[in-house]
Structure 1
Amino acid sequence: MQQSKALAILKSGRNVFLTGSAGAGKTYVLNQYIQYLKQHGVPVAITASTGIAATHMNGQTIHSWAGIGIKDYVSDRYLASLRDKKYFRDKMDKVKVLIIDEISMLHRNQLDAVDYVLKFFKQNDEPFGGVQVIFSGDFFQLPPIGEEWEESKDKFCFMSDAWVQAKVHICYLTEQYRQTNNALNDILNEIR
């Protein structure tokens, strides 16, 4: 898929998994969409699964933004304590679009926790409280960290209830913009 088509799908308001090999332009498309949202006054949360990735997007970690920290689960009591914080409540009330970059590193339990937080604050039982979610990354790169006894199906966020219920549309970018004749890229593409 070309970047322009992926951007059009993002603008349609659908929940999207933006993927492709390194150098396909995932970050470029995300930045184009963020610019579009800001121009149209749409509140967007820009997050990533790691601090480094969040810094590259001028965002913050999803763990910090959603208030889940290192927790895999959140309780109603904990969320009620967050609701007492005006800045947090205001942030959750305003957000219309949530972007999570480097999604492959986010554990399924943590994605379910983010879903639960948004449903709680939005008072909406739709996936992610009705907020448009954009996941970006490549599941053939870095996996999530889990317990040593966990199988892959217990860790990957695409196996979470939240992912399944969100009916995520896959935008697979195929054009290569940054890398040429890269052995790792060739291997990853063959696996795909």
Structure 2
Amino acid sequence: APGSTGKTLLINLLLAKVRQKKIALAVASSGIAATPLTGGRTAHSTFKLPLNLIQKESPLCNITKNTALAKLLTDAKLIVWDEATMSHKAAFEALDRILQDFRNNKKIMGGVTILMAGDFRKTLPVVPRGTRADELRACIKSSYIWQPVKQLTLTTNMSVHIHGDPLAAQFS
């Protein structure tokens, strides 16, 4: 979503609502992006993703069954992944494999609701020494995981509405 649409506020409200009774995890593609999320951490840290995602055929999360983290992933009702557009599709596919295994559920992401937030107009995954085509192939949209995704778009500049500045509205 473009800037000032209230994406972070909406994400934090969703996390708070779900966390009233259930488990919701908040991750982001970078530490900077994780900072404004309540309880946010990097996806690599949370899911124990390998640093060399693109060097392996089918990378896996380094999480063992019967651990506290495995139970957390098994019990989670919502996973929010902010700036998802910056992450390599292999990261999502690794998470998909581990969630299907831990939850004994062959649905995509083991049936967990995943909210992927980000703006494809901003940043695609970084592929070291890769071409533009390599970046597009690394994008989540080129993964089997993207097929069932229901896309919602935030378009209204909420800071203009909240502050009621008619001059700012002309430029939003």
Q: Identify whether the pair has TM-score above 0.5, normalized to the shorter chain.
A: yes
Residue in 2 that maps onto 1:45:
25
- Using CA pairs below 8 Å that are at least 6 residues apart, which structure has the higher relative contact order? 1
Q: Percent identity?
A: 24
* Aligned residue identity for 1:55: T
Deviations 1:57-114 (Å, cap 9, x if unpaired)? 1311111111213142435xx75xx325622222222112111001111011111111
Contact 1:37–1:44 (CA under 8 A) maintained in structure 2: yes
| Matches of 1:149 and 1:23, distance apart in 2 | 32
Match of 2:59 in 1: 74
Structure 1: how far apart are the matches of 2:145 and 2:52?
16
Residue matched to 2:86: 105
| Residue equivalent to 1:128 | 109
Matched, 1:146 2:148: no
Measured in 2, the distance between the counterparts of 1:89 and 1:105 equals 25
SS in 1 for 2:35: helix
Number of aligned residue pairs: 158
Letter in 1 for 2:59: V
SS in 2 for 1:175: coil
The equivalent residue for 1:9 is: none
Instruction: Determine helix, strand or coil for the equivalent of 1:96.
Output: strand
Q: TM-score, normalised by structure 1?
A: 0.74
Distance 2:144 2:128 in 1: 19
- CA-based RMSD of the aligned residues comes to 2.1
Specify the code of the residue in structure 1 equivalent to 2:145: A
Alignment of 1:15-54 (within 5 A): 20-39=1-20, 41-54=21-34
Number of the residue aligned with 2:74: 93
Distance 1:28 1:69 in 2: 30
1:71, 1:119 → 2: CA distance?
22
Kept in 2: contact 1:71–1:110 (CA 8 A): no
Q: Which runs of 5+ in 2 are unaligned?
A: 161-167
Paired with 1:122 and 1:28, the residues of 2 have a C-alpha distance of: 30
Matching residue's letter, 1:160: S
1:59 equivalenced with 2:59 (yes/no) = no
- Quote the offset at 1:155 in angstroms: 1.6
SS at match of 1:35: helix
**Residue 144 (structure 1) shift:** 1.0
Q: 2:59 touches 2:90 (CA, 8 Å); kept in 1?
A: no
**How big is each residue's C-alpha offset from its partner over 1:143-191, in whole Å with a ceiling of 9 and x where there is no partner?**
2111323413212112111222xx11111111102364797xx7xxxxx
